[in-house]
Structure 1
Amino acid sequence: MSQFEESILVSLRRISRAIGMHSRQLKKDFHLTAPQLVCLRQLSQGPSSAGQLARAVSLSPGTVTGILDRLEARGLVERRRSLRDKRRVEVALTTAAQSLIRQAPTPLHQSFSRRLRSLPDEEQRSIDETLQQIVAMMEAQELDAAPLLSEETVLSEADDGMP
């Protein structure tokens, strides 16, 4: 194994472990997955339909529906008819969710994105091109993925892994 090959594999493993550790800590401390936290943070901006929420957080509508079902079962969100249009169902945070969000850490992808944006455009482009090559080498181009850094979105977006 060449020195570059070993270094690259170690770096990939470190990235994978960092994502996994962050996801497990979030589950342990807050009983939330990263996709659940992202949905809650988006809903803290105000009530939304499930479809609008899905678009805002870049997850499929089916994934968001499953997430909302689990959050509703935990008493963190509630679905209710819109006051303006009774045909429309809106999802809103409960007071328990508002309290939880204040305590929860920033999702990993947000802090990563903030640091990435601080790099010059050329450096960002270089990172993007290199990562696209890695995706191709791993034959992972066809995998559906949301722009979230979480173990759950790596494993399965259809099931966010939490009750």
Structure 2
Amino acid sequence: MDRTNATLTALRRILRATELHSKDVAQSVGLTPVQLRLLKFIGECECATAKSLAVQMRVSQATVTTLLDKLEARSLIDRIVYRFDRRQKMISLTPKGRIAIENAPDPIQKIFASRFEQLADWEKSMLLAAAERIASLLDADNIDAAPILATGSIVDELDAEFIDPSTHR
């Protein structure tokens, strides 16, 4: 197999790994990886707002609001009017939301990060340079992307707007 095909095969295996992980998440807790990540951000802080979550996830506030609407409809979060500023709503996990986080498999990002951190500095630099070069070859330099791995195969139409790379060209 020539190097081009070998590289494309490796990229396909990476994409497939994220797809399989997404399916595992969906089956275990019925959430997309993006929804699960948002729940985890909410669980990590006691006074979350849609704006603070959007900044943390590096997405628009409108995207976070759409995701929050879905999580609230499933009774995974509560929105409570902030007593000092009635325009603000504080977001917190419900007991059902905490259970969803506890039952979810380890995120693929966590697995990757754990293994990546064990590499020598030169190897980390080499992999980063290669990944950035691949992104450049795919004209993906200017695509807004958070460090959250997800695929569009299990998300509904509203979530797909957030994670579908074709909408960011």
TM-score past 0.5 threshold: yes
Q: 1:158 aligns with which of 148, 151, 161?
A: 161
For residues 1-163 of structure 1, the aligned pairs below 5 Å read: 3-45=2-44, 46-152=46-152, 158-159=161-162
Q: What is the percentage of aligned positions where both structures have the same residue?
A: 31
Preserved CA contact (<8 Å) 2:24 2:105 = no
SS of 2:86's equivalent in the other structure is coil
Aligned-partner Cα distance in 1 for 2:150–2:130 = 21
**Normalised by the size of structure 2, how large is the TM-score?**
0.84
**Normalised by the size of structure 1, how large is the TM-score?**
0.87
Aligned-partner Cα distance in 2 for 1:83–1:24 = 40
Preserved CA contact (<8 Å) 2:78 2:94 = yes
SS of 1:55's equivalent in the other structure is helix
Preserved CA contact (<8 Å) 1:78 1:92 = yes
Aligned-partner Cα distance in 2 for 1:81–1:147 = 30
Please list every run of 5 or more consecutive structure 2 residues that lacks an aligned counterpart in the other structure. Answer: 165-169
CA positional deviation for 1:136? 1.4
Aligned-partner Cα distance in 1 for 2:161–2:150 = 14
Cα RMSD (Å): 2.2
How many residue pairs were aligned?
159
Please list every run of 5 or more consecutive structure 1 residues that lacks an aligned counterpart in the other structure. Answer: none
Letter in 2 for 1:158: E
Q: Deviations over 1:59-115 (max 9, x none)?
A: 322221111011011111111112343332111111111111111112211221222
CA positional deviation for 1:160? 6.3
Letter in 1 for 2:109: H
CA positional deviation for 1:159? 4.4
